[in-house]
Amino acid sequence: MSQWNPHDRPPPHDAPVQDRLRRDPPARTQPIRDVPLIFRSPPERRPEPMPGPNGPIPPNGHPSLEAGVSTAYRVYDEYMRRGRDAARGFGGSWNEAGPLSYGDMARRAMRYWSDAIGMMFDFAGPMGFMPQHGRAPGSPYTHSPYGGYDPRAAYAPQGRYEPPPPYGKPEPPAPYGRYEPPPPRERYEPPPQRAHAPPPRERYEPPPPPWATRGPGPAAPAQAPRPSLEAPELGAGIALRFDVHLGRAAEVRLHLGPGAAGKHLVAPALAALDAQGAPPLEGVRFSNDGAIGLTLQVPPEQPAGTYSGVVIDEASRTPVGRVTVTLKA
Amino acid sequence: MLAEIVPAVLQEYGAAARSRLFQYIPAREPRRWLYDLVADYPQRGGRGFRPSLCIATARAFGCPPEDALDTAASIELLHNAMLVHDDIEDESERRRGKPTLHTTHGIPIAINVGDMLGLLGLRPLLVNFRTLGPRLALRILEETERMASETAEGQAMELGWRHENSTSVREADYLEMVLKKTCWLGMIHPVRVGAMIATFDSVDPDSFIRFGFFLGAAFQIQDDLLNLTGDENDYGKELGGDIHEGKRTMMLIRLFEAATAEERERLGRLLALPRAERTREEIAWVRERMDHYGCIEYAREVAQGLAGAASHEFSLLFGALPDSKDKRFIEALPRWVIERA
C-alpha cells in the first residue's frame, strides 16, 4: 500500500510499523522563493547518507564551487527582481514615481528659486559685497558658503580629538590632518595592442569539477582545479594621445576599452586631480561616425592642472574608459 | 605581487580615513560616558577596508582622493556604530583584540555610544553638500540610507533565525542575509559611492552590486572560517564564538544538511539553549561534526568560487579603466579576502 486511501481500513495499532498507513511527506514545506522553479520540475531529493560502521559516512567531498556560485547568482537575480518591484513604489529625491501636479511643480519652482537666491547672497557675503552682521569671528556659521552650520569650523577651535589619559597611551598625531595624495603620480603606459580580444563573458563560470574532467575507469588521482582568481583577459584597450592647442598647451590622454567600439560615448565633467579648488572641466564631447572623435572646449579661465574622468557608454551607463586632460599654465 | 598591494593600500587609505574621522568626534563634554567611548572602537584600529575601497574606487575612476575622503570617513563611522550594536545583539565578548564596549561599560551606555557614532556618521555627508554640491551629496545620502536599511534587514534576518532557533535555513537564505548584512556596508556601498563621486553619478550604480556581493560573501565565509580555525590573537575575537552565539554560518547550515536525524535534534537542542548554557563540550562536539562532514572544506570551496566570480565581475566593471595602483588593489581583493589569516 503505497498511497494513502481514506477508504482503506487502517491496520490495528499493534500491527508492525512497516504495515501502518503512511502519508507521503508534503511536497513543499517552504515558500517557493525561486519563481522560475514553479515552471520547472522540482529538484531531486538529496539522498540520505548511508550509515557506515563508524556512523554515517561524510557526504561526498567534491567541491561545491559550482553549486555555491550558481546559488549566489540565483540569490542575486531574485534580490534584484524584488528590488525592482519595490522600487516602482518609491521615487528618489529627483525622480518621482508619478507625474507632478501643476501646483506641486509651482511650489517646487518657488523653493528652487528661493534656494538659488539664498545661495547668491551667501556667496556675495564672503566676497565682500555683504556685511556679516551678527556673526562672531570663528563662528561655524561664518565659513559656510551656504550660510549654514559648518561642522569643521565648529570643531576647529577645539582642535583635534585627543584620547583621554585613562584609556591607555594616546595615539600619536596623524601625519596629516587633510589627506594629501602621494606626489609622484604614475603615468599610464598603454600596453601593446593585441590583434584579438575575446568579449567578456556575461557570467562567471566556475571551472568544471574534477569528476567532469576525469576519464572513464580508475583514473589517477587528479589535482582538484582551483578557480582562477585572475581576471579573464579583456585584451588591451585602445589608447590614443592627442595634443590639442586651444590657445594654450593641453595634453589629452584617452584610454578606451574594447567595449567602447561602436558605442555612443559620453564623459561627465572631469575632476581636478592636482589643482586645489579648481572647478570640474566640462565640455568634453564624443562623437562616433565610424571613427571616435573627441571635442574639447576649455574655458580660458580654467586653472592649469590635470583633470580626469571616466568615459561611459551612454546606453548601458557602464564605464568603458577614462580621459585625462592636462592643461599647461 | 597582487596580494602585497592590499595591505599597503589599506594602511595608506585607512590612515587617511581615520584621520578625517577623528575630526568629526567632538572634544567636548560629556566625554567620560560618551565621546571618549565614541572614539574607543575607531582607536582600536581595524583594517579600514571599507573606506579604502571607497577611496580606491573613486581614484580608479579618475577622481582626486580628497573628494571621497568625507564619504569614506562616514562609512567608517557608521561601520563602528553598527559594530557596537552588533556586539550587544550577538553578546560578543571581544572586538579587535579587546573586550567589547558593553562588557566594560554596560549595555545602556554602549547603545547610546552606538547611536552617537551613527549620528556622527551623517556629519561628513552634510559636509559633502559644500564640497561636492547639493545634487551629488543628496544622492550619496540616499545611498547611505539604502545601505543602512539593507544592513538592518540583513541583521534582522539573522537575529530572527536565532530568536526562533530556526533549523530550516538554507544556503540561499544565508547568502541573501550576507548580501544585505555584510556586503552592502562592506563592499557594495563603498564601491557604488566611490564610482558615484568620481563620475558625478553618471554610471549605473546597480552594476556594482554583483561585484560587491560576491566579494562580500567570500569575505564573510572566510571570516566565519577564521572564527573556527584562525589564530585568536590575529582574529581579534574569541575562537568558536560563532557556534557559541548560535550564528547561522555556512558551515552550520551544511552541518544541518549533512547530519543524521539524531544529530540534527541534538544540534537543535543545543542552539535553543541560552548562550551561557552552551558548554565547551557541546561546542567542541559541533566543531568535531563539522570536521567529520567536511563542512569547513565545503565552505572554503564556496568562498573560492565566489572569489572567482568577484574577479570576473571586476573585469567587467573595471577592465576598461587604465592601469593604476587603485585598480590593482581592487583587482587583488578577491584573492586577498580568501587568503587572509
Query: Average of pLDDT values for A232-240?
Result: 49
**Mean pLDDT taken over chain A:** 61
Residue A283 located in a structural domain: yes
- Across the interface, of B22, B127, B322, the residue whose CB is closest to A255 is B322
- Is the pLDDT higher at B341 or at B311? B311
Using pLDDT thresholds of 50, 70 and 90, give the confidence band for residue B230.
low
B49/A203 Cα distance (integer angstroms): 26
Residue A284 located in a structural domain: yes
First to last CA, chain B: 17
Of all residues in chain A, the percent with pLDDT exceeding 70 is: 37
Q: Dump pLDDT digits (tens) for B306-317.
A: 999 999 999 989
Domains of chain B listed by start with CATH number: 2-339 (1.10.600.10)
Q: Judge whether residue B247 has pLDDT over 70.
A: yes
Number of domains in chain A: 1
The nearest CA of chain B is from the CA of A21 a distance in Å of: 22
Residue A151 located in a structural domain: no
Residue A200 located in a structural domain: no
- Highest mean pLDDT, choosing among A164-168, A190-194, B129-133: B129-133
Rg (CA), chain B: 20
Chain B contact for A133, CB < 8 A?
Answer: no
Q: Dump pLDDT digits (tens) for A241-259.
A: 565 666 778 888 887 877 7
A4/A10 Cα distance (integer angstroms): 10
Residues of chain A contacting residue B328, judged by C-beta atoms under 8 Å apart: none
User: What secondary structure does DSSP assign to B246-312, as a single string?
Assistant: T---HHHHHHHHHS-HHHHHHHHHHHHS-GGG--HHHHHHHHHHHHHTTHHHHHHHHHHHHHHHHHH
Chain A contact for B99, CB < 8 A?
Answer: no
If contacts are CB pairs under 8 Å, which of residues 145-204 in chain B contact chain A? 168, 170-172, 175-176, 179, 195, 198-200, 202-204
Q: Judge whether residue A320 has pLDDT over 80.
A: yes
Q: Dump pLDDT digits (tens) for B163-182.
A: 888 888 999 999 999 999 99
Using alpha carbons, list the distances in angstroms from residue A180 to A326, B15, B65.
20, 12, 8
Residue A276 located in a structural domain: yes
- Is the pLDDT higher at B304 or at A238? B304
Using pLDDT thresholds of 50, 70 and 90, give the confidence band for residue A133.
very low
Q: Dump pLDDT digits (tens) for A147-163.
A: 334 444 444 444 455 54
Q: Which residue has the cell 548580501?
A: B179
The 8 Å CB, 24+ separation contacts for A33-41 are: A33/A78, A33/B172, A34/A74, A34/A78, A34/B172, A35/A78, A35/A81
Lowest mean pLDDT among A166-175, B59-68, B152-161: A166-175
Asked if B61 lies within 8 A of A237 by C-beta distance, the reply is no
- Return the closest-CA partner of residue A326 out of A223, A204, A241: A241
Task: Tell me what pLDDT residue B315 has.
Answer: 92
Residue A273 located in a structural domain: yes
Domain of A270, in residue numbers: 238-327
Closest B-chain CA to A161: B27
Query: Average of pLDDT values for B244-273?
Result: 89
Residue A198 located in a structural domain: no
Q: Which three cell numbers stand for residue A324?
A: 585625462
Residue A209 located in a structural domain: no
Query: Average of pLDDT values for A114-137?
Result: 59
First to last CA, chain A: 94
Task: Tell me what pLDDT residue A280 has.
Answer: 84
Q: Dump pLDDT digits (tens) for A87-104.
A: 766 554 444 445 667 777
Task: Tell me what pLDDT residue A147 has.
Answer: 38
Q: Which phi and psi angles does A308 have, rounded to 5°?
A: -140, 150
Asked if B43 lies within 8 A of A171 by C-beta distance, the reply is yes
* Packed helices A65-88 and B209-229: angle between N→C axes, nearest 10 degrees: 130
